[in-house]
Amino acid sequence: MKKSLLNHIIILTGAFIAISQYACNKSLELEPLDRISDATFWKSPNDFKLGANKFYTYLRTFGTEGHHGPNDLGTSLDNVSRGINTKGVIDANFDSAYSYTRSINYLLAKAEAYPNREEIKLYVAEAKFFRAYVYFEYLLTAYGPSVIVEKPLNLGSPELNASRNSRSEVVDFIIKDLEEAIPDLPVESKVTEKGRITKGAAQGFLSRVALYEATWQKYTEGNLKEGKPEGAARVSLLLDKAIASSTEVIASNEYELFAPPALGDSAQKYLFILENQKSNPASIGKSANKEYILANRYDQTLRQIRRNVSFANFGSDASKKFADLFLAQDGLPIEKSAVFKGYGTLKSEYENRDNRMKYQFHMDGGYYWSGNANWQINWNWSPQDKQNARESPFDPFNNSTSGYNTYRFVAERQVPDNQEGFDYPVIRYAEVLLNYAEAVFEKNGAIADADLNRSLNLVRNRVNKTMPALSNAFAVANGLDMLTEIRRERTVELNAEGFRLDDLKRWFRAHIELKEPVLGVKFKGTEFETTYTGAAGKRKKLTPVVDANGFIIVDPIANRKFDKDKNYLNPIPTGQIQLNPNLGQNPGWQ
């Protein structure tokens, strides 16, 4: 029987726990090397395996998306998306990055002295993957240029007083680690402990890194204050890497989109709440999920999420911008579609839309469950199921200021608070397919129908079997911009997974879109107004502020300050600059 990483991820020896303790000597997390006995540890492959297990806790998970999370598609009034965040003395994200790097470099240093490298090559490859992961997810996307640290430091190490390496050096360092790791990682079907890093995970992550940096250089770097783009040749090289690495994942045939026929057009919805207990009408379990290339893995018995995920995500506020991105069933944006029903009634804008929309949002009058005391009993919308729903019928303003409520990562089975066991997707196949489509278009200024059909259209039509595929002829006939449609698909499919803010930045759109007011449903002159103004027999009294077109204003333009000369990069924490003035500060934060 194949073992799960969950059986090992928490089992760390006292020696490695000591290695992983945080210390704060100077800016790059020095840590005493005498806390373990080298005479008793790092002597067997299992020691290196236990060491590598710790790195899996560095992966994104529920509530830890950090600087990747805030965006313009929800309505949380966070300071980052408003552009009013400030620099501080400390920054937990920055500190964590170098603490994590310290632990990884320690394992790699011990590997250098190990007599049989073949025995431990898998764990060396895992360590290199995670070093690349930390430098990209924690450092590059947040602060840009960073100090490259490849070995454990001591008090005399020059890196402690070094200037930051250039952006291109950091990216090349990340890519080098991934390319060195890939040959020594197993393919998914050969993994004996599910959840460990695979060849596909490293290739998929490489496609993310290369696409991100190619488009950052193409659209953003030259437009930043003090920015210096690296040129067309560099962009082309990076796009080639994104295309090649995503192609390798596709060609491996190790992964596929989750689309069991028994779940029909609700497949994507149930993908995000799969558990080994019955968590969907067809009783499909986690073993059927071949879409998650890398996930932060949980289980109600072995490793619970330990966050109130279902209740926290039930009715999370969304924006009109997000709702409007979903295509109509004729494959057209709503402003071009003849089948879009408009905003006049409580449900009209959900009619004839991309099927993902009805499973992404709560609709007025619908029935929805959220575990604990409100779970599906028969899984067939029976009277008992409806009676046991959390809100029946659902009221769009009970948990929302916008009238749009989302429904992802919300258990429908009976499960106590904080004990959910569904996985968090770190890399999934849908992203790799969309990386491929975008990279091909960015490289060539065009994309063939065959390339669309092997990538984007698989995602688009997963739960929209009758929607026309995106093709060049369809785009021309309907006056569509191909790049806009590629980006639309990415935004709709990957929302709530920590991509949107990074995407807006690399497309050099953040200072435009994040300065727009955040809007909600159309209230004035619609069924919403007649239902929620406190008239006799109606539900409640609402008097929202609306714009000239009658849409609720959740956050006005006056609150949106995102500055293109400042907010594309986060500030380096001032405490670190005091320790090492050579770090310098990012543009606009001086």
CB 272 within 8 A of CB 422: yes
- The pLDDT averaged over each successive group of 10 residues in the chain (590 residues) is 44 37 40 56 96 96 79 79 93 95 98 96 98 98 97 93 97 98 98 95 98 98 90 97 98 98 97 97 97 97 94 87 98 98 97 96 90 92 92 79 92 95 98 99 98 98 98 98 98 94 97 95 96 81 96 95 96 97 96
What residues form DSSP beta bridges with 89? none
Q: Are 174 and 209 in contact, with CB atoms under 8 Å apart?
A: yes
pLDDT for 72 equals 75
DSSP three-state, residue 272: coil
Pairing of strands 424-428, 405-406: unpaired
DSSP string, 388-399: TSSBSS--TTSS
pLDDT, residue 114, reads: 96
The distance of Cα 376 from the centroid of its chain, to the nearest Å, equals: 28
Check residue 35 and give its pLDDT: 52
Closest CA to 413 of 291, 282, 297, 307: 282
Question: Residue 371: what are its φ and ψ, rounded to 5°?
Answer: 65, -165
- Check if the beta carbon of residue 424 is closer than 8 Å to that of residue 296: yes
At residue 398, the pLDDT reads 80
The answer to whether 7 touches 302, Cβ cutoff 8 Å, is yes
Report residue 533: phi and psi, to 5°. -110, 10
Query: For residue 398, which of 389, 385, 411 has the smallest C-alpha distance?
Result: 389
**CA 500, CA 552: separation in Å to the nearest integer?**
23
Looking at residue 2, its pLDDT comes to: 43
- The three-state secondary structure class of 293 is strand
Burial class of residue 417 (count of CB atoms within 10 Å of its CB; 0-12, 13-18, 19+): middle
Q: Which long-range contacts (CB under 8 A, 24 or more apart) does 479-485 make?
A: 479/336, 480/332, 480/333, 480/336, 482/441, 482/446, 482/447, 483/441, 483/442
Pair type for strands 405-406 and 193-194: unpaired
> What integer pLDDT is reported at residue 37 of this predicted model?
61
CA dist 511 to 80, 84, 157, 506, Å?
12, 12, 39, 11
Contact 251, 387 (CB under 8 A): no
Residue 529 has phi, psi (to 5 degrees) of -65, -45
- DSSP 3-state of 74: strand
User: How far apart are the C-alpha atoms of 126 and 129, rounded to whole Å?
Assistant: 5
Q: Which of 37, 40, 46, 42 is nearest to 18 (CA)?
A: 37
8 Å CB contact between 428 and 257:
no
Q: β-pairing, 3-4 with 193-194?
A: parallel
User: What CA–CA distance (Å, rounded) separates 248 from 433?
Assistant: 11
Contact 558, 439 (CB under 8 A): no
Rounded to whole angstroms, the Cα distance separating 144 from 588 reads: 14
269-307 pLDDT per residue, tens: 999 999 999 999 999 999 999 999 999 999 999 999 999
Closest CA to 318 of 460, 513, 85, 495: 495
Whole-angstrom distance, CA of residue 101 vs CA of residue 149: 8
Tokens (6 digits) for 329: 């069933």
Contact indicator for 495, 322 with CB cutoff of 8 Å: yes
pLDDT value at residue 366 = 87
Whole-number pLDDT of residue 393: 72
Name the average pLDDT for the chain. Answer: 91
**CA 305 – CA 423 distance, rounded (Å):** 9
Q: In Å, what is the CA distance from 252 to each residue of 97, 196, 245, 429, 467?
A: 32, 17, 11, 12, 28
